[in-house]
Amino acid sequence: MMRRALALARRGGKAVFPNPMVGCVLAKGGRVLAEGWHPKLGGPHAEAAALKIAGSRAKGATAYVTLEPCMAHPGKKNPSCAELLARAGVSRVVAAAIDPNPAVSGKGLALLRRAKIAAESGLLAAEARSLSPHFFARMKRKRPYVILKMALSLDGRAFSPGGASRWITDAPARNLVHDWRAQAQAVMVGSGTALADNPALTSHGAGKNPLRVVMDTRLRLPRKSRLLDGSAPTIVFTASRRKIPGAETVRIPKAAGGLNLRAALKELCRRGINTLLVEGGPTLHAAFLARGLADEARVFIAPKMISGSRDPNAAPTLPSPRLKKMGSDFLISGRLSCSRG
């Protein structure tokens, strides 16, 4: 049954990344009642999928899961899989690997035992861990998987001389970023961006809102900032002793150039955050890169040249740009909209 659960888990493939692949088999008297797997990032968990199929037949069944059933993370509204299994009345849960996230490790099994369900772990645990090495490695490093997101103009600028960066990219790119925010559990900006752009950092209806995180050594964030509007939870990391309404202020140590990034990441990991989307600006991105704390980059290049314009909307563009891969480089070329005479 556990081998079958492992095979089901593999169906999640790359689509679940950076979550772990998870499979679940519900069985009774040696017969399979229902199967489930985590199909994609943000999708249903394996246990929830299998329980939905089994319905009331799940009562008295044994659940084989490749990862310890989840416990509610802070800020999560849906019932956790441990709760769903208990409510469905399964009599036994066999988990392969324990959840390596220090915030929840062992708690899923403990909840099941409190509900008088026999819960054990360890069966084919090594196989289960080898399904999602990134996930387990990340948990061992005690920090979330860090994705740097940036948007650049073709002339390599993250913002125009006027300071505005908000409209470098067009609607499709911005909509994709809303999806990314819905998939990441947390998004982060430096105080420079929070002050210059006053971003909301929500998913704009593309899914659930992430936890918003601001790196703000001296607590410069103005009270009227959209990050304090309560539309999503916000953490402001700071070295200041003060607090601001609308956010949770968390004091962490200072380091060269601002706050200690490792301390911030460790605190996010402690709160069960697996993935963090760092949306800039350039100073904060540089700090992550310099310390080797970035795992993935997602870079938009807008075919416009903003160095010479205060307003990125008025910057010269390449109306029909050509993109060519040349060895390890990309060449983007085309006529400029500003060419005169």
Cite the active site residues: 47
Residue with smaller CB distance to ligand NAP, 215 or 244? 215
163 binds ligand NAP (CB under 6 A): yes
Tally helices (H) and strands (E) across the chain. 10, 16
Among 32, 196, 250, 263, binds ligand NAP (CB under 6 A): 196
Position among 18, 144, 210, 280 found at the interface with ligand NAP (CB under 6 A): 280
Nearest Cα to Cα of residue 58 among 96, 86, 79, 39: 86
DSSP 308-341: T-SSGGGS-B-SS-EEEEETTEEEEE---TT---
Choosing from 281, 303, 312, 316, the residue that interacts with ligand NAP (CB under 6 A) is: 281
Q: Which residue, 137, 82, 136, is CA-closest to 106?
A: 82
Angle, helices 81-88/107-114, rounded to nearest 10 degrees: 20
Can you tell me which of 2, 27, 50, 70 binds Zn ion, judged by CB under 5 A? 70
The answer to whether residue 45 forms part of the interface with Zn ion (CB under 5 A) is: yes
Interface with ligand NAP, residue 287, by CB under 6 A: yes
Could you tell me which residues come within 8 angstroms of residue 66 by beta carbon, excluding any fewer than 6 positions away?
2, 5, 6, 9, 21, 22, 23, 24, 46, 95, 96, 97, 124, 128, 131
Please report how close the Cβ of residue 204 comes to ligand NAP at its closest, in angstroms: 16
> How many residues in the shown chain lie near ligand NAP by CB under 6 A?
31
Residue 236 interacting with ligand NAP (CB under 6 A): no
Instruction: Answer with the entry of Zn ion, ligand NAP, none that 280 interacts with (C-beta below 5 to 8 A by kind).
Output: ligand NAP
Tell which residue, 165, 176, 128, 158, has the closest CA to residue 4.
128
Asked if 261 interacts with ligand NAP (CB under 6 A), we say yes
Q: Which of 18, 192, 303, 312 binds ligand NAP (CB under 6 A)?
A: 192
- Nearest approach, Cβ of residue 37 and ligand NAP (Å): 35
Q: Are 185 and 211 contacting, i.e. CB atoms less than 8 angstroms apart?
A: yes
Nearer to ligand NAP, 105 or 260 (CB): 260
- From the list 7, 17, 63, 14, the residue with the least C-alpha distance to 37 is 7
- Using the contact rule CB under 6 A, the part of the chain among 33-41, 71-79, 155-163, 242-250 near ligand NAP is 155-163
Q: Which of 125, 158, 176, 318 binds ligand NAP (CB under 6 A)?
A: 158
CB of 265 to ligand NAP, least distance (A): 11
- Residue range at the interface with Zn ion (CB under 5 A); choices 35-43, 63-71, 230-238, 317-325: 63-71
Give the binding range for ligand NAP (CB under 6 A) out of 107-115, 158-166, 222-230, 303-311: 158-166
Q: Which does 276 bind (CB under 5 to 8 A by kind): Zn ion, ligand NAP, none?
A: none
Triad 92, 94, 95: Cα angle to 5°: 140
244 vs 259 by CB, closer to ligand NAP: 259
Letter string b/e over residues 114-125, b meaning 16 or more CB atoms within 10 A of that residue's CB? ebebebebebbb
- Minimum CB separation of residue 329 from ligand NAP in Å reads 21
CA 139 from centroid of its chain's CA atoms: 14
Q: What burial class does residue 140 get, using C-beta atoms within 10 Å of its C-beta: 0-12 exposed, 13-18 middle, 19+ buried?
A: exposed
